[in-house]
């Protein structure tokens, strides 16, 4: 029995009176109420249907949009994959290919059909004519940890492979052609090696310049000594002796009478005595100058041999009293200091014996004294003075060289140690640079200070005082 049939039967039953008669009026009313309800339900269903229809249409449109977006994304993804500068392949947990990009195929010279999804990577790479170390890569591609590998291909290219396992199994492996980079690295290493060699040569040239400079400093003193000696020879009273001899020869026959009675002969003894005194003085002067000359030549010899042994061994350590060191450096410039009337003040507060490469230390001090002399001469002041001090400063022996010359402006105080920095017309700018280097080689330090232009300068050389013993009480003296 259908639903409508049951409904009609129910309404007929409701409209049937006790007599069994059907009240047609009531039945009509009941049926019309039923119809109205049915009509209402139909309309509701229609509305619901329409809503559902609309929703379905919206969903279908959204889906179409999504599919479109996915298609575009896929194109982008493929485009990105294919335009990567590195090769890439995505493998599943059994080492089968999920996706590979164009660069991967290029690197291994593979046809697109070789890299079909689902093919084991081992098979794919066996198709390549250039692959080497395949087993090493297969081991890497199966590893559950990230890693990398350098692969030298048969055609000489070098590939850097980076293996990155994925969380859900499988991995993403990238392949970079680093042939150019490897070549550039090799060239860079070669260039670096050459640069090191060039700097070593430049360093040696710098040392040689320093040596020449120091030899030059000492040669100045040698020159002064040589001039003094030739002056001495020119002005020597020795020529007077020849005159005495010729007078004696004239009076050879009557020598006794001539010496005692002749007015000229009577002066001969005192004349000879005078001459003897003068010649003795000259001899002392010549000997002193020759000694200083010898010392200077010895120093030049040492500087040169130090340069020769520069690259091989370090300088020889010698024990020397710090004041002797200062005195030696003074001796090399004393003549020039005197010539320029620069007063030398010695203020020796320490006379320790230090163990030092004597010639290096001497080079430093000779440079400082020479610079101080130049600063004094340049200042033109009549009371020019150079003060040399020695002292102790903790575990260091300190030598300071001060002058009251032209001074150094604050902005130059660090620049003066630069190689080639000079403010002097005839300067080279090597002295302080090589002195600072030498101080460092002696494990010491060289510093400069000045209150500014026209107010003099002080240079302090600190040297390690190991193996030091004090031998003398302080002394203050003036030249």
Ligand X SMILES: Nc1ncnc2c1ncn2[C@@H]1O[C@H](COP(=O)(O)OP(=O)(O)OP(=O)(O)O)[C@@H](O)[C@H]1O
Nearer to ligand X, 388 or 432 (CB): 432
Q: For residues 335 and 156, what is the distance between their CA atoms, to the nearest angstrom? A: 73
**119, interface contact from ligand X, Mg ion, none, CB < 5-8 Å by kind:** none
**Which segment (2-10, 94-102, 135-143, 430-438) binds ligand X by CB under 6 A?**
430-438
Nearer to ligand X, 330 or 432 (CB): 432
**405, interface contact from Mg ion, ligand X, none, CB < 5-8 Å by kind:** ligand X
Question: Is residue 372 a contact residue for ligand X (CB under 6 A)?
Answer: yes
**433, interface contact from ligand X, Mg ion, none, CB < 5-8 Å by kind:** ligand X
Q: Do the beta carbons of residue 419 and residue 438 sit within 8 Å?
A: no
Smallest separation (angstroms) from Mg ion to the CB of 436: 12
How many other β-carbons are positioned within 10 Å of the β-carbon of residue 418?
A: 13
Nearer to ligand X, 88 or 215 (CB): 215
By CB under 5 A, name the one of 363, 371, 434, 458 that touches Mg ion. 371
**Which segment (107-115, 135-143, 238-246, 425-433) binds Mg ion by CB under 5 A?**
425-433
Question: Is residue 431 a contact residue for Mg ion (CB under 5 A)?
Answer: yes
Q: Which of residues 164-193 bind ligand X (CB under 6 A)?
A: none
By CB under 6 A, name the one of 306, 322, 406, 460 that touches ligand X. 406
**404, interface contact from Mg ion, ligand X, none, CB < 5-8 Å by kind:** none
How many other β-carbons are positioned within 10 Å of the β-carbon of residue 421?
A: 16
Question: Is residue 429 a contact residue for ligand X (CB under 6 A)?
Answer: yes
Smallest separation (angstroms) from ligand X to the CB of 197: 27
Nearer to ligand X, 321 or 362 (CB): 362
By CB under 6 A, name the one of 87, 165, 315, 431 that touches ligand X. 431
**Which segment (6-14, 354-362, 370-378, 461-469) binds Mg ion by CB under 5 A?**
370-378
Q: For residues 250 and 257, what is the distance between their CA atoms, to the nearest angstrom? A: 13
Q: Annotate each residue in 440-469 with x if it binds ligand X (CB under 6 A) or - if it does not, as one string.
A: -----------------x------------
For ligand X (CB under 6 A), the number of binding residues is 23
Question: Is residue 375 a contact residue for ligand X (CB under 6 A)?
Answer: yes
Q: Which residues contact 144 (CB under 8 A, 6 or more apart)?
A: 165
Nearer to ligand X, 285 or 423 (CB): 423
Question: Is residue 439 a contact residue for ligand X (CB under 6 A)?
Answer: no
**Which segment (84-92, 156-164, 286-294, 366-374) binds ligand X by CB under 6 A?**
366-374
Nearer to ligand X, 349 or 407 (CB): 407
**175, interface contact from ligand X, Mg ion, none, CB < 5-8 Å by kind:** none
Closest of 453, 424, 421, 451 to residue 435, by C-alpha: 421
**422, interface contact from ligand X, Mg ion, none, CB < 5-8 Å by kind:** ligand X
By CB under 6 A, name the one of 29, 237, 251, 428 that touches ligand X. 428
Q: Which of residues 17-36 bind Mg ion (CB under 5 A)?
A: none
Nearer to Mg ion, 292 or 434 (CB): 434
Question: Is residue 321 a contact residue for ligand X (CB under 6 A)?
Answer: no
Smallest separation (angstroms) from ligand X to the CB of 347: 17
Question: Is residue 363 a contact residue for Mg ion (CB under 5 A)?
Answer: no
Smallest separation (angstroms) from Mg ion to the CB of 276: 45
Q: According to the 3-state scheme, what is the secondary structure of the chain? A: CCHHHHHHHHHHHHHECCCCCECHHHHHHHHHHHHHHHHHHHHHHHHHHHHHHHHHHHHHHHHHHHHHHHHHHHHHHHHHHHCCCCEEEEECCCCEEEEECHHHHHHCCCCHHHHCCCCEHHHHHHCCCCCCCHHHHHHHHHCCCCEEEEEECCCCCEEEEEEEECCCCCEEEEEEECHHHHHHHHHHHHHHHHHHHHHHHHHHHHHHHHHHHHHHHHHHHHHHHHHHHHHHHHCCCHHHHHHHHHHHHHCHHHHHHHHHHCHHHHCHHHHHHHHHHHHHHHHHHHHHHHHHHHHHHHHHHHHHHHHHCCCCCCCCEEEEEHHHHHHHHHHHHHHHHHHCCCEEEEEECCCEEEEEEHHHHHHHHHHHHHHHHHHHHHHCCCCCEEEEEEEEECCEEEEEEEECCCCCCHHHCCHHHCCCCCCCCCCCCCHHHHHHHHHHHCCCEEEEECCCCCCCEEEEEEEECCCCEECCCCEEEEC
Task: Indicate the burial class of 393 (C-beta count within 10 angstroms; 0-12, 13-18, 19 or more).
Answer: exposed
Residues that bind ligand X (CB under 6 A): 213, 367, 371-372, 375, 403, 405-408, 416, 421-424, 427-433, 457
Residues that bind Mg ion (CB under 5 A): 371, 431
């Amino acid at each position: 029995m259908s639903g409508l049939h049951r409904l009609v039967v129910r309404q007929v039953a409701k409209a049937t009176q006790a007599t069994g008669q059907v009240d047609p009026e009531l039945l009509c009313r009941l049926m019309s109420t039923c119809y109205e309800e049915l009509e209402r339900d139909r309309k509701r269903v229609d509305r619901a249907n329409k809503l559902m229809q609309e929703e379905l249409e919206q969903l279908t449109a959204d889906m179409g949009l999504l599919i479109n977006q996915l298609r575009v994304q896929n194109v982008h993804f493929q485009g990105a994959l294919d335009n990567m500068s590195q090769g890439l392949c995505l493998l599943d947990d059994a080492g089968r290919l999920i996706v590979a990009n164009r660069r991967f195929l290029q690197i291994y010279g593979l046809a697109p059909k070789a890299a079909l999804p689902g093919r084991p990577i081992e098979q794919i790479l066996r198709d390549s004519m250039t692959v080497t170390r395949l087993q090493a890569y297969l081991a890497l591609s199966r590893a559950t940890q990230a890693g990398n590998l350098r692969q030298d291909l048969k055609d000489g290219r070098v590939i850097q492979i980076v293996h990155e396992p994925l969380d859900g199994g499988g991995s993403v492996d990238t392949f970079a052609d680093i042939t150019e980079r490897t070549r550039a690295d090799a060239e860079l290493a070669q260039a670096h090696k050459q640069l090191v060699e060039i700097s070593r040569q430049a360093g040696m040239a710098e040392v040689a310049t320093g040596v020449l400079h120091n030899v030059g400093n000492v040669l100045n003193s040698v020159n002064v000594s040589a001039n003094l000696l030739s002056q001495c020879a020119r002005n020597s009273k020795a020529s007077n002796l020849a005159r005495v001899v010729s007078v004696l020869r004239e009076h050879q026959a009557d020598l006794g009478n001539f010496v005692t009675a002749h007015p000229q002969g009577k002066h001969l003894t005192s004349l000879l005595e005078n001459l003897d005194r003068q010649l003795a003085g000259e001899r002392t002067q010549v000997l002193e100058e020759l000694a200083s000359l010898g010392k200077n030549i010895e120093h030049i010899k040492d500087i040169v041999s130090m340069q020769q042994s520069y690259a091989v061994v370090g300088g020889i350590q010698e024990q020397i009293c710090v004041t002797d060191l200062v005195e030696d450096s003074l001796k090399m410039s004393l003549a020039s200091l005197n010539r320029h009337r620069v007063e030398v003040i010695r203020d020796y507060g320490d006379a320790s014996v230090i163990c030092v490469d004597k010639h290096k230390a001497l080079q430093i001090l000779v440079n400082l004294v020479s610079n101080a002399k130049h600063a004094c001469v340049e200042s033109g002041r009549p009371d020019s003075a150079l003060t040399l001090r020695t002292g102790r400063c903790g575990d260091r022996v300190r030598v300071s060289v001060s002058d009251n010359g032209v001074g150094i402006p604050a902005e130059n105080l660090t620049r003066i140690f630069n190689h080639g920095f000079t403010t002097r017309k005839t300067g080279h700018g090597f002295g302080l640079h090589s002195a600072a280097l030498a101080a460092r080689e002696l494990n010491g330090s060289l510093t400069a200070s000045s209150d500014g232009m026209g107010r003099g300068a002080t240079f302090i050389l600190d040297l390690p005082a190991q193996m030091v013993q004090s031998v003398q009480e302080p002394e203050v003296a003036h030249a």
